[in-house]
Amino acid sequence: MTASSCILAIDQGTSGTKSLVFDSKGNICAEATIPLKTSYFGEGFVEQHPEDIYKNVLQSVRACLQQYQSTGASLSAIVSCGISNQRETFLLWDEFGSPLCNAVVWQCKRSVDVCYEMQSLDLGNVIHDKTGLFIDPYFSGTKLIWLYRNNPEIQKAIKAGKAYFGTVDTWLLYRLTKGEAYLTDYTNASRTLLFNLNTLSWDRELIALFGLEGIRLPEVKPSSYAFGSSHFEGLFKRALPVQAMIGDSHAAAFGEACIYPGTAKATLGTGCSILFNVGTERRNSNSGMVSTICWSTEDRVDYALEGIIVSCASPLAWLKTELGLLTDFAEAENMATSVTDNNGVYLIPAFSGLGAPFWDMNRKASLEGLTFSSNKNHIVRAALESIAYQIQDVLSAMKQDTGIPIQELMVNGGASSNNFVVQFLSDLLEAKVIRNENKNVSAFGAGFLAGLKANIFPDLDSVQSLYHRHPIAKTTQVAKVAEAYRGWQRFIHATKS
């Protein structure tokens, strides 16, 4: 490949699709985002139209390529494509490629009763041992069972062996290749409740246990692989190889340089996903973490533990809209730094229960340690501090599970732009905290994996050299922050639901 070789990276997310073209040095040449409609119904149903997803991707790619060509660049320089996608969302279609139902989005809660039933049958341990996952509506398998039981057409198609299952990556590849390629990657397969992490294959015992014999499943490959090629409905004169497919959170981990054991990424959004690379052997958790695939090539499969924090930055929205303590999120940083400490105030952000490592869904949010000397700045600071405390709780549990020390934590997402949060986190952790100001980490992760397969990048070290790393130096407040964390631990463990 020449130094001018470029990669098309597609990040198909829940709210829309972002496409970008970047060169072999990691410079963005063009980018475009097209929003995608999601339908929300009663009883927690969340769906997207299969054709809308496919057209949304084509529209995004078309807009990106138009911008790319407007600079005088030639499409012939684009030699590879990588795709990242919203995880757990899945589709079903028949032997003719016609959808059997709408795409069931990862947020959908229709299978709550199915989960209760599976738990009552004491299936949790066998499912966790095989898949690394918990029984939860979040994962695809329980909603597939619901469809089988409640949609006669789907039940008939599955029994007849004519129902094709696929996560969004598989659907896009199937459509882009005119039905020639029916494949997925390890990361997407690992989020379905149907995939065995130990054998890296579909688990036929679980499929039979779920009553889904006859379901057609895609062949599973590493994330960096020659999946097929496509003209993208005429956007390219020659077929462009699709050489990477990977779930978006896993793509973000690779895009954040979580390439070696001991590295982790935390996406600080409404909630927080922490993905910790544990190396080439699966590690199990005794503290409420999901065991999953981190990323993979044909020569290597890296595993991960994942911890989900339910309420990360969302308490700030509550302080703004319900209590009126701030008028703009940008104010939060100045309010937190206007006081020297939290004055003993702690916000336990269990507005929707507590996630990892506690998994206490009945816990309620609370403000602790209030006195007459407390003011709104202390409360806002407590909300920001809770982000760092929860991340520390998860990383401590991961270290205890694996025996692997956390060496580096890469942070991204909206709340990572808050300097107080990132600095407080750096002072709290016994690890290097690195902020990535790249807003396209999932797209870059998929693109880098495609570039590895296309030999644009010769090895992992050459990929790592492209990351723009901004380490956060510790301050003189380390001991003070550690003492504040001990206060958090007293409150977080004091009240059980």
* Coil, helix or strand at residue 438: coil
Phi-psi region of 90 (alpha: psi -120 to 50; beta: other; left: phi over 0): beta
Length of the chain: 497
Q: What is the pLDDT of residues 240-287, one digit of tens each?
A: 999 999 999 899 999 988 988 999 999 888 888 899 999 999 998 888
* DSSP assignment of 103-135: EE-TT--TTHHHHHHHHHTT-HHHHHHHHS--S
Q: What's the mean pLDDT in 300-317?
A: 91
- Of 14, 18, 4, give the one whose Cα is nearest residue 64: 18
Distance (Å) of CA 148 to CA 142, 155, 214, 454: 10, 5, 11, 40
Q: Using 50, 70 and 90 to split pLDDT, how confident is the model at 3? A: low
Pick from 193, 181, 247: which is nearest to 219 by CA? 181
Q: Is the pLDDT confidence value at 396 over 70?
A: yes
The pLDDT of residue 362 is above 90: no
Give 412's pLDDT tier (boundaries 50, 70, 90). Answer: confident
Beta-strand relationship, 272-279 and 300-309: antiparallel
Taking the C-alpha atoms of residue 83 and residue 13, their distance in angstroms, rounded to an integer, is 11
Tokens 């942070």 sit on residue = 411
Q: Closest Cα partner for 494 from 368, 351, 312, 384?
A: 368
| Residue 495 pLDDT | 60
Instruction: Among 390-394, 460-464, 491-495, name the most confident range.
Output: 390-394
Determine the average pLDDT of the residues in 3-14: 90
340's CB contacts (< 8 A; 6+ apart) are: none
CA distances from 346 to 280, 352, 378, 430, 492 (A): 39, 17, 9, 22, 9
Are 435 and 288 within 8 A, CB to CB? no
Q: What is the DSSP letter of 223?
A: S
Mean pLDDT, the chain, whole residue set: 93
Angle, helix 112-120 to helix 140-150, in steps of 10 degrees: 100
